Amino acid sequence: MTERIWPPLSPLQTGLRGRCPRCGEGHMFQGFLTLAPACDVCGLDFGFADPADGPAFFVMCFACVPAVVFGIWLEVTYQAPYWVHLVTTLPLLLLTCIPPLRPLKGWLVASQYFYKAEEGRRVMAGETARPAEK
């Protein structure tokens, strides 16, 4: 049986849509942020994926910080009562922090597959680096 050759797909296109980084058709997630064990179309095992806290870090840096700055500005400028923060700042925080998590996680997982990223290995003097295990 011959092994099928998969064309390289853009991690940005497949990851942001939550699609398999190998075939571009299967689903990467089985829940909101839970990775599926394998692609339901091509069977790619997602065991290689370890986005860790990357999605949360990017969301905190690029979405949470401006939303919190807005809340602080609102408080300092207008001394807004708590209910104003409840109807402005809280929804802003939720809308800017939760929706980007899944596309960012998909992009990081697809990038790990595309660039063949894996855990580093220490090679001692006199040893040769062993090839990555499949």
> What is the pLDDT averaged over residues 89-93?
95
Which helix (H) or strand (E) is 55 found in, with range?
helix 54-59
Mean pLDDT of the chain: 90
Tokens standing for residue 3: 């092994």
CA distances from 2 to 5, 23, 113, 117 (A): 9, 17, 22, 26
Tens digit of each residue's pLDDT (9 = 90 or more) over 33-70: 999 999 999 999 999 998 889 999 999 999 889 999 99
pTM of the predicted model as reported, rounded to 2 decimal places: 0.83
For residue 120, the SS3 value is coil
